Structure 1
Amino acid sequence: MAYQEKETPEEKRERLRFEEQKRNPGGNFSDGVNRKYGGGLADLGWKGVLGLLILLIGGYIGYRLYVLGYFPW
């Protein structure tokens, strides 16, 4: 019990996650399958999120320029 009082929040999250995996292995498998198909922004990291944001902003600017007639094709 004395160790749990000194553990950091990250260690506590890891310990709780491990205990949950031991109690519910089927749920852990389901989470893994769902993560594979769904993914998330956290999986990209900060560089991936920044790249996606730049791509979206660039696409929006290109779309607006096309709508305003700056690109005649």
Structure 2
Amino acid sequence: MNEEKETPERKRERLKYEELKRNPAGNMNDAFNRNEAGNLSGLAGSLGWKGLGILITVLIIGFIVVSLFLK
């Protein structure tokens, strides 16, 4: 597709994809920084399903460890 005929939406998606290829860990950092001014759905949407799964797993394991130490 010619860049002159590229829509703004396509251009944003292309630039986002290129940035993710260059810096895959930056996506999680962006998600946490965006959440400071946003809400939980913004965090979940920007992390994706893998990142959200990892975050939930870490929270559950953390809760279990803390509950074992407080008994």
TM-score bucket (shorter structure): 0.3 to 0.5
TM-score where L is the length of structure 2: 0.44
Higher Cα radius of gyration: 1
Q: Which has the higher contact order (CA 8 A, sep 6+)?
A: 2
Q: State the TM-score, normalized to the length of structure 1.
A: 0.43
